[in-house]
Amino acid sequence: MEGLAQRFPNAIFYKRTNGKAIALTIDDIPTPFGGDRNATRWILDAIARHNAHSSASPAQATWFVIGSHVGGDRALLPDILAQGHELGNHGWVDAWAFRESPDAFVDSVTRTHAVLQAAAPAATLQWYCPGRALYPPPMVTSLRSLPGYQPRLALASMLPLDTRFPTAAPGFTRRYALAHTFPGAILLLHGGSTAQAQNTARVLTDLLPRLCDRGYRILTLSDLWALPPECAGGQVWQKPVDRCSA
């Protein structure tokens, strides 16, 4: 992972810290028209059920939203925020972002930003994740011209194997996520379709308790990124708020 980060310094794959904390990210939400409009809520509800039974160790996530998917469930994005999560920008369409011209890229991000602000005015938007995870140098330059956004692209510590057969199965996804869990890891799961949301909801029902049993706090990307690089004695660094404790 260190070598990958050095090769692609304009993206983040993990947070350097020895505290037992990770970020959970959910890509491609909401489910677009034609899928089950409640599919994203299956994921939200899976996290909420975990938190209801683990009041001392709540899990939060960063949800990367595709702008053109926003529509049917107007309460969804505010409800995500109300449960302690954060929203991120995943562009306007589910496509290969690296193929966009600089102007098209800026239009994609700004259109999505406007939709998110209208749907969830309380959201603080600072993370952009490129579709398919690939990016050319002009994309980085364009991103840095957008006010409020982090200058590096948000990626993850694992490949998106939950989006394709035969690896898009709860048992495989859970094992794969656990195998890529380490202090500072950024885990990636997907919504975006009825099947993917169902898989993610099932995975989280089993994965979240296992992570907390191993002493990990499950944070938004912003909270993980705010951690100091080193935590004395390898202990979990505690913010002055109630989070998942070791």
- Three-state secondary structure along the chain? CHHHHHHCCCEECECCCCCCEEEEEEEEECCCECECCCHHHHHHHHHHHHHHHCCCCCCCCEEEECHHHCCCCCCHHHHHHHCCCEEEECCCCCCCHHHCCHHHHHHHHHHHHHHHHHHCCCCCCCCECCHHHCCCHHHHHHHCCCCCCCCCEECCCCCCHHHCCCCCCHHHHHHHHHHCCCCCEEEEEECCCHHHHHHHHHHHHHHHHHHHHCCCEEECHHHHHCCCCCCHHHCCCCCCCCCCCC
How many residues can be counted in the chain?
246
Q: What is the pTM for the complete model shown?
A: 0.90
What's domain 2-234's superfamily in CATH?
Answer: Glycoside hydrolase/deacetylase (3.20.20.370)
Cis peptide, bond prior to residue 229, ω within 30 of zero: no
What's the confidence (pLDDT) of residue 231? Answer: 53
Domain edges within the chain: 2-234
Nearest-CA neighbor of 217 among 197, 202, 231?
A: 231
pLDDT tens for each residue of the chain, 246 residues long: 777 788 889 999 999 998 999 999 999 999 987 779 899 999 999 999 999 988 677 999 999 999 999 987 889 999 999 999 999 999 999 888 878 899 999 999 999 999 999 999 999 999 999 988 788 899 999 999 999 999 999 999 999 999 998 999 999 999 999 999 999 999 999 999 999 999 999 999 999 999 999 999 999 999 999 998 765 333 443 433 333 443
For residue 98, what are its two tokens? 């690296």
Q: What is the pLDDT of residue 3?
A: 78
Handedness of CA 68, 73, 78, 80 (dihedral sign): negative
